[in-house]
Amino acid sequence: MSERTSYVPGTPCWVDLATPDVEGAARFYGELFGWDVPERPNSAEMGGYRRAMKNGRDVAGVMPLMNEGQPPAWTTYVSVDDAEAIGEAIQENEGTMLTELMPVMSLGRMAIFADPAGAVFGIWEPADFHGAELVNEPGTVGWNELSTRDPEGAKAFYSAVLGWEPNDIEMKDGGTYTEWLVDGSQVGGMLDMRGRMPDEIPPHWGVYFGTEDTDATVEKAKAAGGDVLFGPMDIEPGRFATLKDPYGAFFNVMQPSEELLARMAEEGK
C-alpha cells in the first residue's frame, strides 16, 4: 500500500468534497470506493466536516456546502510550509483569495484561492495532520490535474507561487500534456482544455481516484445514481472515465496501465 505520513512542500496532499448531502455522498462514495465516512466527535465543531477512511486510513474529506450558491465540487489542497508567504505570493501573481487563512483546530491551517484563470485550489500548512494517509491505491487519490485554457499563464503562475517545474510531453493523439514536478518528482498534471472540453466548462482542478476496473466502477456509479460524462476511454496512463456524483460533483476514475503500475513500483509510489 502507498502509505504516507508527510508531504514535500508543493505536493498535493488532500482532497475534499463540498456537497449538499453529506449523508448521501458518504453512501455513494462508500459503496463506490469502499470508504467509511463516519461522523466524528469534532465534526459538529468543524461545520459538519468528516474524513473518509479506507482500510483505517484517511483518504479524503467530505463537508456540507458552506455558502449560498457554492457549487458541489472536489477541491485539491497543496501542502506548504509557510501559508502566509504562499498566500501573499498567490495574490501578488494575480491569484484571488476566496477564503481567509484559518486554523483548523490543531490539525493545520488552510486557505482557498483561485488561480488567474479561475481554477480553485487550496493550500494546507500541516501541524498534527499532514494529509491523505493512503494514496495511489484503488479507491484513493492517484492524480491531481489542472484543466485550463491558458497553459502558459498557468506555468508562470504555479512556478512562481509553488515552485513547480513544468515538463511538457507530446501526446500520441496530438497536443501537449504538462507534468508538474517538484525536485524532479511528478506531483500533478495540466491539460489544455482548448478543443477538448465544451466552452461552458470552466478551468478547474480535477481529481482522479484509482480503480482496479474502470468499466465496473462506472456501472456501479450509474447504479448508485451517478452519471457518466466521458468515457470509459483508454489513454497512455490507463483507462479512465469522468463521472458526476448524484449531487453534482465531478470526478475521475482511472485504472492504471501495466506500464504505469510498473513505473510506480519502481519509483516506490
Q: What is the pTM of this model?
A: 0.94
55 pLDDT higher than 90:
yes
Instruction: Judge whether residue 42 has pLDDT over 90.
Output: no
- For domain 135-267, the CATH architecture is Roll (3.10)
**pLDDT for res 263:** 67
Query: Is residue 268 pLDDT above 90, yes or no?
Result: no
Q: For residues 72 and 18, what is the distance between their CA atoms, to the nearest angstrom?
A: 5
CATH topology of 2-133 equal to that of 135-267?
A: yes
Give yes or no for residue 137 having a pLDDT over 80. yes
**CA gap 27, 13 in Å, rounded:** 24
pLDDT at 172: 75
pLDDT attached to residue 259: 76
Rounded to an integer, the average pLDDT of 25-32 is 98
At 222, list the grid cell. 450509474
Q: What is the pLDDT of residues 77-112, one digit of tens each?
A: 999 999 999 999 999 999 999 999 999 999 999 999
3-state helix, strand, coil in the chain (%, to 5): 20, 45, 35
Residue 126 Cα distances to 47, 48, 77, 164, 195, angstroms: 19, 20, 11, 19, 38
The answer to whether residues 131 and 4 touch, using CB atoms and an 8 Å cutoff, is yes
Strands (DSSP E) contained in 56-183 are 57-64, 73-79, 96-104, 108-114, 120-126, 134-135, 141-148, 165-170, 176-182
Distance CA 199, CA 42 (A): 41
CA distances from 44 to 39, 49, 107, 139, 168 (A): 8, 7, 16, 26, 44
The answer as to CATH 3.30.950.10 being correct for domain 2-133 is no
Where residue 242 falls among pLDDT bands split at 50, 70, 90? Answer: very high
Question: Cell 500520441 identifies what position?
Answer: 172
Helices H / strands E in the chain, number of each:
5, 17
**How far apart are the C-alpha atoms of 166 and 169, rounded to whole Å?**
10
Least confident of 66-70, 86-90, 145-149, 203-207: 66-70
Query: Which tens digit of pLDDT belongs to each residue from 214-230?
Result: 999 999 999 999 999 99
132-136, 137-141, 196-200: which range is least confident on average? 196-200
Where are the domains positioned within the chain? 2-133, 135-267
* pLDDT value of residue 261: 67
How much of the chain, in percent, has pLDDT values that exceed 90?
Answer: 82
Condensed to tens digits (0 to 9), the pLDDT of residues 139-191 reads: 999 999 999 999 999 999 999 999 999 999 987 766 789 999 999 999 999 99
